[in-house]
Chains A and B, each alone.
Chain A
Amino acid sequence: MAQPDTTLARDAIGPRDPGDIGNAGSLARAAPNRRFQVMRRLAQNRLAMVGLVVIVLLYLVAIFAPWIAGSDPNQLTPGLRNTPPSAENWLGTDRNTRDLWARVIVGTRISLAVGLAAVVIVMTIGITLGALAGYFGGIVDQLVMRTTDILLAVPQILLLITAAALFQPSLQTTIIVIGVTSWSGTARLVRGQFLSLKNQEYVTAARSIGSPSLRIMFRHLFPNTLAVIIVQTTLWLSAAILLEASLSYLGLGVQPPDPSWGNVLQDGQRDLISGAWWLTLFPGLAIFITVLSFNLVGDGLRDAFDPRARKR
């Protein structure tokens, strides 16, 4: 269930109030008021605020991971094989006598970084292709849309494990394969926005005074798709982290000894049957909390951008 629910995301891009578009209400420039309102509405959403606080904490952990971890995640301590959580090893140790706390904390850095890098690729491809398809239409649109049709028809995990297995699994491969297989939904949403905006009067006006296409796309159309893009980015951060964890769990993602939550879990689950529950429980919990927080914020943002959907 890695794919963010773009069906619900469509709520956020329904046609806005005519007045909104009429005054070229670009989120970035013309409407500091509106930006403030969005933030205020988000602040009123308790679940989203909890999610936001957790996300900030997670990124702080990722940044200061080496200090918080307290020790090297690959350091071996003879005699401490599969010991349960204790005062010295807060989350216990694994079969190789490594400290699980250090591995999960450094894993936070790796998992969040992979998620972020993958989402940068997803958004770059998705926004560019969506914008081109929506603005130019015709053959460009057909090509982009048919490619999304193909990508959306195949179970993503199948594409991911095929690509990862064939091109040597590694941290870089993981980022790239998640990035290039995940952009379809975003491209479609951005295309839809561009399509509905490009015939608005203010765009026609810009065109009539001779503004070049690129300028129209960047200055007039792109700012109006920001709401969609922000929501998509948040939801895909959660999805990419979950995909990375799934791939690493299957042994086709980030490779040991580098710890990522998925491969720590994969490594630990072998000892689950002999009673070392902490090795499975804690990395999974980290994935769960992270994905949950991003989803809460993404959902809150969607409601904040489109208060009419909120009352439903």
Chain B
Amino acid sequence: MNGDTGAYLIRRVLLVIPLLIGLSILMFGMLHAAPGDPVLAMLGPQAAARPEVLEQARANFGLDKPLPVQYLNWLWDTARGDLGRSYSFNNQPVLDLITNRMWGTIQLQGISLFLALSLAIPIGIFSATRQYTLPDHLVTVGSFIGLALPNFWLALLLQVWVGVQLGWLPVLSSNQARAEFPERLQYFILPVIVLALPSIAYFARFMRSAMLEVINQDYVTVARAKGLGPRPVLYRHALRNALIPMVTVIGLQLPQILSGAVIIEQIFAWPGLGDLAYQAIGRRDYPVILGVTLFAGAAVMIVSVLVDLIYVLIDPRVKLTGSAGG
């Protein structure tokens, strides 16, 4: 890692904070520009008849102050690690809600990602080494299909077919927290399949083209010419280099993966961040919406810096310079 690269990475890390502030301003603006009253949503329509109750509630949550003051108050609290209290969800601190729900999402997505990569990388290699044969064409067609399947549709069909008709697996996951280790796994199977399928398709296709590009490089030809067998060429020379761009792609997929979580957690009643966000939006629970969005944004930005760092560490050719993130 040379000086330029180090400076670049430091700039990237420092950029995360203004970007998160930008994101919070965007969300804050959007939440408050929207018609509708969170206090009314909180107290129910009958409270509309009693303006003094509404005023009181507004003052309690600081909603009576001018918008910039509200924002700065929120920012000051957030900077000290206090994301405020939820309007609904028993007025729990937002940070507690997020940390409670976080593990559900991390477990589900982690398993899905691991499964997707452990299938997609071999499939991609298999496909690339048999370019333009029938199996390769099947992989291509299969990955197009995997990417076009609406995830909610697949989830519903699997729930009814595997869950209800065959009765093999639970349909909803609301009870999973109470289940013990081996039984608990069965709650994972359907959501993991639904989440992993498009990722398998995407990563396999990317792995295939990364592999094909590397196979055509001179150093692979040289390795072959000096009499190295096909397997060592493939695994020692080609695969290592083909895996490098995969790191970037996995990082870039994170927002997509989190997007999938919102809908899929909702369908399977999975206790995670996506489900929390969906419910918070329905209840106009501003602090929770802001908290979850910021949390997701921070996760994505940090992962993208880490991806850059890993990239530098595994690929000595890479030098990162220029304007950060540009």
Contact = CB atoms under 8 A, between A and B. Distances in A.
A67 B301 CA distance: 50
B278 interface: yes
Interface string A158-174: 11011101111000000
B212 interface: yes
A281 B143 CA distance: 21
B164 A154 contact: no
Contacts of A265: 152-153
Interface stretch (B177-185, B231-239, B289-297): B289-297
Q: Which of A141, A158, A312 has the most CB of B within 10 A?
A: A158
A155 B257 CA distance: 8
Nearest to A168: B35
B84 interface: no
Sorting the interface of chain A by its residue count into under 10, 10 to 19, 20 to 34 or 35 or more gives 35 or more
A284 B147 contact: no
Contacts of A291: 147-148, 150
Contacts of B160: 272-273, 277, 280
B86 interface: no
Contacts of A11: 209
A166 B293 contact: no
Given A1-B151, A165-B281, A292-B145, A158 B35 contact: no
Contacts of A159: 293
Contacts of A238: 148
Given A166-B34, A250-B266, A150 B23 contact: yes
A292 B141 CA distance: 10
B145, B152, B216 interface centre (most CB from chain A within 10 Å): B152
B215 to A, nearest CB: 9
B259 interface: yes
A273 B161 CA distance: 10
Interface stretch (A2-10, A25-33, A73-81, A224-232): A2-10
A246 B23 contact: no
B22 A146 contact: yes
Contact of A157 (B26, B144, B259, B292): B259
A154 B296 contact: yes
Nearest to B278: A161
A141 B147 contact: no
B149 interface: yes
Nearest to A241: B150
A144 to B, nearest CB: 10
A117 interface: no
Contacts of B27: 162
23 contacts: A1-B256, A2-B256, A7-B248, A47-B144, A147-B22, A149-B19, A155-B255, A155-B300, A156-B259, A158-B277, A158-B293, A163-B30, A166-B30, A166-B34, A246-B152, A246-B263, A249-B152, A269-B156, A280-B160, A281-B157, A295-B147, A296-B144, A312-B213
Interface of A: 1-3, 5, 7-8, 11, 47, 141-142, 145-147, 149-150, 152-159, 161-163, 165-168, 238, 242, 245-246, 249-250, 265, 269, 272-273, 277, 280-281, 284, 287-288, 291-292, 295-296, 299, 311-312
The 6 closest A-B pairs by CB, nearest first: A166-B34, A284-B153, A292-B148, A155-B258, A1-B198, A155-B259
